[in-house]
A and B are shown apart, each in its own frame.
Chain A
Amino acid sequence: MIELDRAGRSFKVKRSLKLEGNLVHAVRDLSFTVAPGEFVGYLGPNGAGKSTTIKMLCGILTPTSGRVRVAGLDPSRKRTTLARRIGVVFGQRTTLWWDLPLRDSFELIRHLYKVDRNVFKTRLDELTETLDLGGFIRTPVRQLSLGQRMRGDLAAALLHAPDVLVLDEPTIGLDVVSKSSIRAFLRRLNTEQGTTVLLTTHDLGDIERLCRRVMLIDHGRLAFDGTLDELMATAPEQSTIEDVVTRLYTGSR
C-alpha cells in the first residue's frame, strides 16, 4: 500500500546572504513497505523526519531523491488521483474550514471528493455515531474544543472512505478520555474496515494500544522496524516502552 525506495528529501538552508546554502537532509535513503491492512506506528524524536515522510506520502512535498508510491501512485505527480484514496489528519493543524460549521465542511468535502449523496449520508451517520459528533456538528469549527475538532478532522479525512489513513500526531494535546475514544475508533477502523493506518505520535500509549508494527526514524534514517514485541526485546527485561524508546532515541545520537 505504501512503498518507499531510498526516498530522500533535502532542503537548502541559507545561513547568510551567501549564494550557496547548506543542504540539510530531512529524510535520506528511506526504504520501507507497508502492506494493506497494517497498523504502523511511526516514531522518532522531534525533527527526525516524520512529518517530512508523511508529507511525501500525500504529495505535499516532492522527494528530492528515490521513489515513493502510495496505492501504486507517485504522490507528487498523481496528487489529485491519490487524494481520493488517502485520508490525512494533521494533529497540529485542522483541514476544516475555520468559519464553517462541521456539517458544512463535510458537505463541501463531499463535493470536492465527488462522494455519492447516499453513500455520503450513510457514512456520515456512521461517523457521527462512532465519533460522537452529534452534539457539535452545527458549531463553527473555530468554536470547537481541541478534542471535538480532532474528531471532526478524523471524520473529514474518512468521508471518502480512503484505503490509507495517515495520521500526524492525532492525539497531541488531548485529554485521556478524548485520547481513548480516538484510539478505540482507529482500532475499529483498522480491524473492521481493513483501512491501512500509518500513525506518527509522541504518545507511546498510542503505540502500545494500537500498533502491531513500529518503525523508528532518526536523523532521516530508519533506526528500527519490527513488531512491538521485537521493539521491547531490544532492551533489558521489565523496561517500559518509555525506557526502550528513550534508549533508541539517545543511543542513536
Chain B
Amino acid sequence: MVSAYFRLAWTWTRAAMAYPASFALMSVLGLIVAGTDVAVILIIFANTTSLAGFSRAETLFLYGTANVAFCLCDMFVSNIDRISQHVKAGTFDTMLIRPVSTWIQMAADRFLPTRIGRVLQAALVLGYSISALDLDSGRLWMIPVMITTGAVIFAALWTLAGAVQFVLTDASEVTNAFTYGSGQLTQYPFAIYGRELVRGVTYGLPLAFVNWQPALYVLDRDDPFGTPGFMRFLGPVAALVLALLAGFAWRLGIRHYRSTGS
C-alpha cells in the first residue's frame, strides 16, 4: 500500500516536471502564501504581548504543531479533494479497475511535491517556538504524538469530505470550509474563540485534539475553559474514532458510485 502510494506520487512528480515553469511558480507561490499566515501572527504580537493569555512563542507553538500536521496532510492526503472531478468525468472508473485501494490512488492523485515547502515552513516555526519556550523536557514526548494525532484527524476530515462528494458532486466548496477551515482554526489558541465553538470542536468535530488539548499539557497550562486534565491525552482515541468513521463513509461512498454513461 505504502509502496504503491510512493510509486504513484513519484509518477506524478515526474509528470509535474513536464511543465517546469508552472512547477517552479507553484513552489514559490506556496511558500509566499504560507509565509503570510505567520506574518499575521507576528503582526498581532507587534501590537500586544499576549493573545488571550498566550505569549508569542506559545502561539507559534500552537501554530507550528497544527500546521506541521495540516501541511503533511495537505501534501499527502488532500488530493482526495479532487474526487468530484473524477466522479463527474467518470475517470474514477480507471481507479476502480486497479488492484490498489482507491483511497491510496486518490490521495496520491496529482501529487504535488512542491507542497513540501509548506511542511518545512511549519516545521521551522515549530522548531523556533520550542527553542524559544522553556519546556519541561519530560513532556516533550507529547509533541510527536500530537502531530501524528493531528495528521490522522486532518486525513480523516479530508476522507470524509471526499466521501460526501460521491453523493453531492459539487460539495467541494462546502467541504473545503471544513478541511481548510479546520486548518485555519487550529492555528490560534482556542482561548480566543467563544465557549460554544470550542465545545463544538472538542466534542463534535474533534479539532481540539489536533493541538489545543495536548499543547496545554506540553505548555503545562490549565484549560481556560476548565476541561479536566485527562482530556489532554484523549487525542489518539478521538483520532481513531474519526478515522474509523471516515473509512466507513469512504466505503459507503464507493458503493454508491454511479459512474457515467457509456
A interface residue numbers (CB < 8 A to B):
11, 46-47, 51, 55, 58-62, 76, 79-81, 83-84, 86, 88, 90, 92-95, 97-100, 104, 108, 111-114, 140, 168-169
Contact = CB atoms under 8 A, between A and B. Distances in A.
Contact of A79 (B11, B14, B96, B258): B96
Given A60-B257, A93-B90, A51 B262 contact: yes
9 contacts: A55-B93, A59-B96, A60-B93, A60-B96, A61-B259, A95-B94, A99-B18, A100-B15, A112-B98
B3 interface: yes
A112 B8 CA distance: 9
Contacts of A169: 262
Contact of B7 (A58, A90, A100, A111): A111
Nearest to A105: B11
Contact of A93 (B15, B91, B98): B91
A55 B254 CA distance: 13
Closest 9 A-B residue pairs measured CB to CB? Answer: A83-B99, A99-B15, A60-B96, A111-B7, A95-B94, A88-B97, A80-B99, A62-B255, A84-B99
A83 B91 CA distance: 16
Given A92-B262, A93-B94, A95-B94, A112 B257 contact: no
Contact of A108 (B7, B93, B101): B7
B15 A97 contact: yes
Q: Is the interface of B mostly helix, strand, loop or mixed?
A: loop
Contacts, number: 71
B136 to A, nearest CB: 46
B44 interface: no
A96 B8 CA distance: 13
Given A80-B101, A108-B8, A111-B7, A58 B96 contact: yes
Candidate in A60, A81, A88, A100 with the most chain B CB atoms within 10 angstroms: A60
A60 B87 CA distance: 12
A99 B15 CA distance: 6
Contacts of A61: 257-259
B45 to A, nearest CB: 45
Contacts of A140: 18
B258 A11 contact: yes
Interface string B53-89: 0000000000000000000000000000000000000
Nearest to B110: A99
A83 B97 CA distance: 6
A90 B4 CA distance: 23
B100 interface: yes
Contacts of A76: 255
A64 to B, nearest CB: 10
